[in-house]
Amino acid sequence: MDVLIAVVLIVAMFAILGAGVWIGIAVLGVAWIGMELFTTRPGGDALALTVWGSLSSWTLTALPLFIWMGEILLKTRLSEGLFRGLAPWLQRVPGRLLHVNIVGCTIFAAVSGSSAATCATIGKMSLPELARRNYPQIMSVGTLAGAGTLGLLIPPSIIMIVYGVAADVSIGKLFIAGIVPGLLLAGLFMGYTIVWSLRNRGAIPPADAALSLREKLAESRHLIPVMLLILAVLGSIYTGVATATEAAALGVVGALVLAAAQRALNWRSFWGSLMGATRLYCMIALILAGSAFLSLAMGFIGLPRHLAEAIGGLGLPPFALLMALMVFYIVLGCFLDGISMVVLTMAVLLPTLQTAGIDLLWFGIFVVLVVEMAQITPPVGFNLFVMQGMTKHQISYIARAAFPYFLMMVVAVLLIYLFPALVTYLPSQMKL
């Protein structure tokens, strides 16, 4: 029966998307079909309550604010400053300015806690610049879609908080545990980009004129405004002065102040940034609403719980169990957002994990990594939708561009399995 339900919903999803319906509406439609066909609860009132509840969340306020901050940086000279500051140091690295996407997402991930906000903010700054400099579009899109997922792994991370509560694991230790794997994953992304660039030398634009160390340092001054903004947002979170939402508001104010100080802020740029952020957030919010309703439908149907119980009942050794769970979460990512995946499955999986002797702190980072994979896996890969909203490319094109970075995440999972100290060493040294 579960297989039949899954097949019906997958076919419905592709049929609705193939008809050209907006992605958010398509997800809502699939959820409504699931509720009407496979549950006894009426879909109408559940739809209204779920959409309102998902979009009226105070925590969600951080997302449009971070997007607006990125739009301000795009509409002013601050985005040019990011490239001017990083370009001299990356010109001799194979792949050159493609690494700006990865480095920028790594830095911003330490501010946002959201893959969507990270992807959207850095993309709004980097994609126009890379296009203007004639970098291969498939690599510009792929590096951004892949690196944008770092918003989930590098703390602060919303999904880590959800997992910590569900599994009764210290959230502070989870945050510390995510640092090394996050940097490792960023290094793997950069490594793949270097290898691709060495094999496709003709696709990368030539380097700019070589600069001396003094000249590079002089160009780096253009990074100061952006770095000050990031440090202000990051510092306010880690010192406990502000919540993530309040820090996002601080980021918007800081971006406006810096833009005004550079005389790059006028009514046209202000209004343009506000409208750009509104359009992008409305697209994301509609998908969020659809994801929330689909999560509710999946919960009523019981599909995630049944699948988790089936995996737990196989009696697999730890490595095989983890590989099965990786596939399980990737498949769930075709229907659910990351938070819903954790909430709907952890209660069922915890006894199995404890019986298998798997460290729950380590497993938290494992879960975040596999949820990151789901962010760039169609048909409901959330970063793919964000990228589609910014680039207007088809989901299939973006998924193909992001696929090598999906494989790098698989490599990261294998590395933390082989070397668990990558996750557990730093938390073990902290008194939290």
Could you read off the pLDDT of 142-170 as tens digits, one per residue?
999 888 888 888 876 778 877 887 788 88
Q: 124-149: per-residue pLDDT in tens? A: 778 888 888 888 989 999 999 888 88
Mean pLDDT of 92-110: 82
At 266 the three-state DSSP class reads coil
What's the total number of domains in the chain? 2
Asked if residue 275 and residue 213 are part of one domain, the reply reads yes
Query: Which of the listed residues 254, 282, 310 is the one where a domain comes to its end?
Result: 282
pLDDT classification of 423: cutoffs 50, 70, 90? very high
Q: 200-252: per-residue pLDDT in tens? A: 888 888 766 667 777 777 777 877 877 788 788 777 766 778 776 787 888 88
Start-to-end Cα distance in the chain: 46
Q: Which of 99-103, 105-109, 355-359 has the highest mean pLDDT?
A: 99-103
Distances in Å between the alpha carbon of 354 and those of 235, 347, 361? 36, 12, 12
Asked if residue 302 and residue 219 are part of one domain, the reply reads no
- Which residue range(s) make up the domain with 113? 59-282
Asked if residue 161 and residue 215 are part of one domain, the reply reads yes
Asked if residue 294 and residue 278 are part of one domain, the reply reads no
Asked if residue 187 and residue 70 are part of one domain, the reply reads yes
For residues 298 and 281, the answer to whether their CB atoms sit within 8 Å is no
Query: Which of the listed residues 282, 300, 322 is the one where a domain comes to its end?
Result: 282
For residues 179 and 150, the answer to whether their CB atoms sit within 8 Å is no
Is the preceding peptide bond at 404 cis, omega within 30 degrees of 0?
no
Residues making up the chain, counted from first to last: 432
Q: 289-320: per-residue pLDDT in tens? A: 877 787 788 778 877 667 667 766 777 788 88
Region of 154 (left: φ > 0; alpha: ψ -120 to 50; beta: rest) is beta
Asked if residue 294 and residue 147 are part of one domain, the reply reads no
Quick one: DSSP state of residue 61?
Answer: G
Asked if residue 243 and residue 165 are part of one domain, the reply reads yes
pLDDT for 79 equals 58
Asked if residue 158 and residue 140 are part of one domain, the reply reads yes
Asked if residue 76 and residue 24 are part of one domain, the reply reads no
Query: Which of the listed residues 267, 282, 297 is the one where a domain comes to its end?
Result: 282
Q: Which amino acid is at 169?
A: V
How far apart are the C-alpha atoms of 159 and 174, rounded to whole Å? 10
Is pTM beyond 0.75 here?
no
**Mean pLDDT lowest for which of 244-253, 345-354, 404-413?**
345-354
